[in-house]
Amino acid sequence: MAEALQLIANGVVIGSVVAVAAVGLTLVFGILSLINFAHGDYLTLGAFVAVVGTGLGLPLIVAAVPAILFGAAFAGGLEKVLWGPLRKRGASTVNLLIVSIGLALVLRYTIFWIFGADVERYGPVSRRIDFGPFALTPQEIIIVVGSAAALVGVALLLQKTRIGKAMRALSDNRDLAEASGINVDRITMVTWLIAGALTAYGGIMLGLQGRVYGNMGWFLLLLIFAGVILGGIGSAYGAMIGSLLIGVTQELSTHSLIGLPSDLKMGVAFLVLIVVLLFRPQGIMGKKQAL
Amino acid sequence: MIPYIESVVLTAGIFALMAQGLNVHWGFTGLLNFGHVAFFAVGAYTMGILNTQFGVGLLPSFLAAMVAATLLGVIVALPAIRLRTDYLAIVTVTIGEIFRLVLKSGPGVTELTRGPRGIRGYSNEFFFLREDIGLGFLDPDQYLLVLVWATVAIVGVLLWLLIKSPWGRVLKGIREDEDAVRALGKNVTAYKMQSFALGAGIAGLAGVFFAMDIGSLAPDTYLPIITFYCWTCLMLGGAASHWGPIVGGLVFWGIFNGTLYIPNEILSGAEAAYLRQIGVGALIMAIMIFRPQGILGSKEEMVLDK
């Protein structure tokens, strides 16, 4: 039991990081139907911009600010020069998906080219603090609390603000939203800015867990995807639930009673995803009519 | 120059074959499959395991490799074809990854696959055979190259016949308008399964040739990037075109391997490797932006709105 609690705690830590990234991905998907394979590399980029800051001697909390702003600007800039023009030319979902695979390679290896293959750190990871049933490092506690704060922020934005309502309306039914006078281009840009900022923030959270390296976002991407579609594509709350489930499932699969090697844990998470989709092809919170 | 051309043509042949399988899925049926590398891997591993651990002869283990890949195609199709396109894309990638992870560290499975240590020694018989079939004058790479391209040609002709047959027309019908085909009383699910199985079997055979080329089997060879390379070959050449995978394979690997010859004074080894991947990414983007139907594809046959 003690082992299970510790694994669940670990799962919540990784699930929190995945959730922050997954909400950004799913917001964009809900509005643009873009499956962005470069999303993981947006995450890496955010983490590395923060490394530049900490390398200059700034504390991480200060270095995080320009990284998050950069993340937002980068995502918004790509919408301006790449995604927006492509959509206007009528590119199909699959066309855009393949463009994102190309973009992912360009981004990742540009990061490698600039920063090299070395592993960077924001600072030493401290010892675990014992909470009785489980123990976590201070960094892991910051990850969970920081991610939860960001997710609550997104929820408030979606529920309480005009812009959030417009985002939800657009995601629900694009034509109806457009007809009711919502400025689609503006909301699309705002969504990218929020997604970009969230993703950079998620990248910093991931880096805080220990290491910042060129493949970090790419390696997390499939877990992010799994969280998104387990929750139901386009649903921000679904993405949060799905990501936590994915995180906890993959950690619990290494429990000594189950006895699977930890190399397999991501495979177990994916398997759970496929089994859930067999029974609920639209995901946990996904809308049936969207099928 | 000759080694460069040989390496390009050999790898291009293997990927052309793999892309011919993907063309059945995507080009002709409109099925999005981003887990193609799994079929490639199952072909290679079936052959390798049967040959080295059970002493099965070359030809039977080749056939078994195709059968195993075909079966995996059916198994993957079962959950996959119920999903809409965006879910399908992601689920197929994860299936490919599950498969790789199981090959690497699945309990019980690693006794057969030897996990990350991999399998060697299956290719000797294959290369010795070239004396017996009168191709002794070729070196091993040339011999593999000839067999690969002969297979590409045979598969190409068979696919051409199949696709213009009534069966193939139903596949294209599914690609254009699934509901219309269903309304005509065709069992769309069954056709999709058959398409998945056929394309997977072809990829399995490509996987066997790939295994012969590299001489050893290791799980981490079969990363999702292999699937993306295969997609690039297909989209570059032109999906739904019979020559597409062939032209795409040659052009893609011509460029890719060409960057191996950039002198060290201009770019160091690691930088050249990064630059190569940046180039591949930029190429993928450029095709999709400027010529989404590929070099040979026609706009009319391009899959839209999937």
- B16-70 confidence digits (pLDDT tens): 999 999 999 999 998 889 999 999 999 999 999 999 889 888 889 999 999 999 9
Question: Would you call A229 and B305 a contact, using CB atoms and an 8 Å cutoff?
Answer: no
Interfacial A residues in 60-79 facing B (CB < 8 Å): none
CB–CB of B19/B40 below 8 Å? no
pLDDT at A228: 92
Question: Would you call A113 and B275 a contact, using CB atoms and an 8 Å cutoff?
Answer: yes
pLDDT at B118: 86
CB–CB of B6/B145 below 8 Å? yes
Model pTM score: 0.90
CB–CB of A170/A182 below 8 Å? yes
| Chain A residues within 8 A of B234 when measuring between CB atoms | none
**Rounded to 5°, angle at Cα A205 from A246 and A240:** 35
pLDDT at A279: 85
The alpha carbon torsion through A272, A277, A282, A283 (nearest 10 deg) reads -10
- For residue A117, the number of C-alpha atoms closer than 13 Å in the C-beta half-sphere is 5
Q: Which helix (H) or strand (E) holds B120?
A: strand B119-120
* Among candidates A92, A264, A274 on the partner chain, residue whose Cβ is nearest the Cβ of B305: A92
pLDDT at A287: 72
Q: Which of A34-43, A63-72, A171-180, A242-251 has the lowest mean pLDDT?
A: A171-180
Phi, psi of A129 (to 5 degrees): -100, 130
**DSSP-assigned states of every residue in B22-83:** HIIIIIIT----S-HHHHHHHHHHHHHHHHHHS---HHHHHHHHHHHHHHHHHHHHHHHTTS
Question: Would you call B278 and A106 a contact, using CB atoms and an 8 Å cutoff?
Answer: yes
The rounded distance, in Å, linking the Cα atoms of B107 and B72 is 19
Question: Would you call B278 and A92 a contact, using CB atoms and an 8 Å cutoff?
Answer: no
pLDDT at A14: 93
Structure tokens at A221: 């991407």
The rounded distance, in Å, linking the Cα atoms of A6 and A134 is 5
Structure tokens at A177: 């939203």
* Among candidates B79, B93, B289 on the partner chain, residue whose Cβ is nearest the Cβ of A86: B289
What ipTM was estimated for this complex? 0.87
Q: Is the pLDDT of residue A277 over 60?
A: yes
Question: Would you call B83 and A277 a contact, using CB atoms and an 8 Å cutoff?
Answer: yes
Q: Is A266 on the interface with B (CB under 8 A)?
A: yes
Q: Is the pLDDT of residue A202 over 80?
A: yes
- B83-120 confidence digits (pLDDT tens): 877 788 888 999 999 999 999 988 888 888 888 888 88
What DSSP designation does A123 have? Answer: S
pLDDT at B237: 92
Q: Is A269 helix (H, G, I), strand (E, B) or coil?
A: helix
Q: Which residue has the tokens 């040609």?
A: B153
The rounded distance, in Å, linking the Cα atoms of B288 and B280 is 13
User: Could you tell me which chain A residue has the CA closest to the CA of B267?
Assistant: A113
| Chain B residues within 8 A of A99 when measuring between CB atoms | 284-285, 288-289
User: Could you tell me which chain B residue has the CA closest to the CA of A33?
Assistant: B86
| Chain A residues within 8 A of B281 when measuring between CB atoms | 101-107, 109
Q: Which helix (H) or strand (E) holds B217?
A: strand B216-217
The CA distances from residue A1 to A6, A8, A256, A264, in Å, are: 9, 10, 11, 21
The rounded distance, in Å, linking the Cα atoms of B196 and B73 is 5
Question: Would you call A35 and B94 a contact, using CB atoms and an 8 Å cutoff?
Answer: no
The rounded distance, in Å, linking the Cα atoms of B73 and B40 is 11
What would you measure as the largest C-alpha separation in chain A, in angstroms? 58
Question: Would you call B97 and A270 a contact, using CB atoms and an 8 Å cutoff?
Answer: yes
The CA distances from residue B195 to A62, A215, B190, in Å, are: 55, 34, 9
Question: Would you call B281 and A33 a contact, using CB atoms and an 8 Å cutoff?
Answer: no
Higher pLDDT, B272 or A167: A167
Strands (E), A100-227: 129-130, 135-136
B126 — pLDDT class (breaks 50, 70, 90): confident
Question: Would you call B228 and A277 a contact, using CB atoms and an 8 Å cutoff?
Answer: no
| Chain A residues within 8 A of B91 when measuring between CB atoms | 229, 273-274, 277
Mean pLDDT of chain A: 90
The rounded distance, in Å, linking the Cα atoms of B243 and B6 is 20
* Among candidates B89, B106, B281 on the partner chain, residue whose Cβ is nearest the Cβ of A102: B281
**Quick one: which of A102, A60, A16, A74 has its CA closest to A193?**
A74
Q: How many inter-chain contacts (A to B, CB under 8 Å) are there?
A: 131
Q: Is A101 on the interface with B (CB under 8 A)?
A: yes
Q: State how far residue B146 is from chain A, nearest Cα, in angstroms.
A: 32
How many other CB atoms sit within 10 Å of the CB of residue B161?
A: 10
Q: Which of A180-189, B83-92, B130-139 has the highest mean pLDDT?
A: A180-189
Q: State how far residue A233 is from chain B, nearest Cα, in angstroms.
A: 8
The rounded distance, in Å, linking the Cα atoms of A32 and A164 is 16
B290: buried, middle or exposed (CB in 10 Å: 19+, 13-18, 0-12)? exposed
Q: Which residue has the tokens 């193609």?
A: B36
Question: Would you call A106 and B285 a contact, using CB atoms and an 8 Å cutoff?
Answer: yes
How many other CB atoms sit within 10 Å of the CB of residue B176?
A: 13
User: Could you tell me which chain A residue has the CA closest to the CA of B234?
Assistant: A98
The rounded distance, in Å, linking the Cα atoms of B248 and B239 is 10
How many other CB atoms sit within 10 Å of the CB of residue B225?
A: 14
User: Could you tell me which chain B residue has the CA closest to the CA of A279?
Assistant: B79
Q: Is the pLDDT of residue B189 over 50?
A: yes
Higher pLDDT, B223 or B264: B223
% of chain A at pLDDT higher than 90: 55
% of chain B at pLDDT higher than 90: 52
**Mean pLDDT, to the nearest integer, of B265-283?**
83
The rounded distance, in Å, linking the Cα atoms of A270 and B273 is 30
